Amino acid sequence: MIKYTDMHKCVVEYISAGDIEKYSYCPLSWWLSRKEGHRESEGVIKHRNIGKKAKEGMENYRKSKDFERGVMYFAVGAVLVALVGVTMLYESKVWATVFHALAILWLIISVYFLWRYDRLEEQWKGTFTRIMVMAALLSTVFSIFAVSFFMNPNYLLGYILEIASLLWLIGATYFLYESMRKGLHYSQIRQELHLPDGEIIYVDDLKKAPLLKSKKYGIVGRPDMLLKVGKEYVPVEIKTGRVPRGPLFSHIMQLTAYMLLVEENFSIPLYGLLMYGSTVYRIEYEEDLKNILLQKVEEMRKAMRTGEVHRNHNRPGKCRHCSRREICPERLA
């Protein structure tokens, strides 16, 4: 296991969310699993396929948003080019005066926000910066319009600009089509994976997905997926085996570990999703659940110090379905 240094400068081992799930199922089964290597089980293969589909959806969502921004840029560009073209076709002192006034107005707004900037709280500075840039840009554009209306008409240049604006509009239409196509593909993948509305921002991948760490509690893990629903971060744990009558305690503990990791790396989550095929359980992130998780982690650390671990149940059926029953000294079946 990975080691970390806590606040008392003691070297302590990181515990993974997957190990927490195994321990919560049966401490002795977890202990025996520590000597196992990686096994290419049917569940691992199913998880990999789900991960590929989720990554495909994540890529489609990002491309959809990129094309969406392209629509805005090309549409705004088409409007501006068309307006400049119009100014080349007409001479009007009235319109020149109007645009001069608008240019001065937006310049004053930009200067005002610049003057207020140093007096702002840090959380508002980003918004004010965007407003300043937009106001300065509008002032520049209106100044160009004003100067153009004072100039003598240039029909050739005006027609060229109008044709250019049509080309920009065609570009905006293409980006709109691609944005809708990618967005539809993402929605289909989301429905296929039975995910709620939201953006997939993280998919479990040993090579590319960063390992989430809690330095405070010495816990690490990679959730199967991480969704961003509005401003909320929602970890998702997918189970590919049989569908139980309700969410299993060991799976809840694993999901709680992911919620704790999300809390430390992003923000406090309201809930996580535990999925058994099309059956989805919403597990609220509560303080009592977090305390149970931390208690399990302390028990695991004690077991690693003492080497004393025992079975925690009297259910023959549980032992019968355990993949480590053949080497378990306390098996019931």
Residue 285 has pLDDT above 50, yes or no: yes
pLDDT, tens digit, for every residue of 1-55? 444 444 444 445 889 999 999 999 999 888 888 876 555 556 677 878 888 889 9
Residue 93 has pLDDT above 80, yes or no: no
Q: What is the pLDDT of residue 255?
A: 96
Whether residue 156 sits in one domain with residue 233: no
- Report the chain's mean pLDDT, rounded to a whole number: 84
Residue span of the structural domain in which 214 resides: 3-39+199-327
Q: What is the pLDDT of residue 309?
A: 87
Whether residue 309 sits in one domain with residue 270: yes
Q: What is the pLDDT of residue 4?
A: 47
Whether residue 188 sits in one domain with residue 71: yes
Local confidence band at 84 (pLDDT 50, 70, 90 cut-offs): confident
164 CB-near residues (< 8 Å, 6+ apart): 81, 85
Residue 281 has pLDDT above 60, yes or no: yes
Q: Which of 27-36, 81-90, 285-294 has the highest mean pLDDT?
A: 285-294
Whether residue 272 sits in one domain with residue 172: no
pLDDT, tens digit, for every residue of 221-231? 999 999 999 88
The number of folded domains in the chain is 2
Whether residue 293 sits in one domain with residue 213: yes
Does some domain include residue 45? no
Among 154, 172, 192, identify where a domain stops.
192
Whether residue 207 sits in one domain with residue 148: no
Among 138, 162, 192, identify where a domain stops.
192
Whether residue 188 sits in one domain with residue 70: yes
Whether residue 141 sits in one domain with residue 241: no
Average pLDDT over residues 66-95: 82
Does some domain include residue 146? yes
**Taking the alpha carbons of 94, 95, 97, 101 in that order, is the dihedral positive or negative?**
positive
Q: What is the pLDDT of residue 262?
A: 96
Does some domain include residue 94? yes
Among 140, 167, 192, identify where a domain stops.
192
Residue 216 has pLDDT above 50, yes or no: yes
Does some domain include residue 54? no
Q: What is the pLDDT of residue 128?
A: 75
Does some domain include residue 333? no
Whether residue 213 sits in one domain with residue 281: yes
Q: What is the pLDDT of residue 185?
A: 93
Distances from the Cα of 234 to the Cα of 10, 202, 243, 247, angstroms: 32, 10, 22, 17
Chain mean position to CA 50: 17
pLDDT, tens digit, for every residue of 117-172? 777 776 677 777 778 777 887 788 778 777 777 777 788 888 888 898 889 889 99
Whether residue 161 sits in one domain with residue 88: yes
Does some domain include residue 11? yes
Does some domain include residue 270? yes
Report pTM.
0.74
Does some domain include residue 44? no
Whether residue 241 sits in one domain with residue 210: yes
What the block records as the tokens of 203 is 């998919």
Cα–Cα dist 253/290, whole Å: 9
Residue 256 has pLDDT above 50, yes or no: yes
Q: What is the pLDDT of residue 39?
A: 58
Whether residue 136 sits in one domain with residue 212: no
The percent of residues in the chain predicted with pLDDT above 70, rounded, is 93
Domain of 238, CATH number, reads 3.90.320
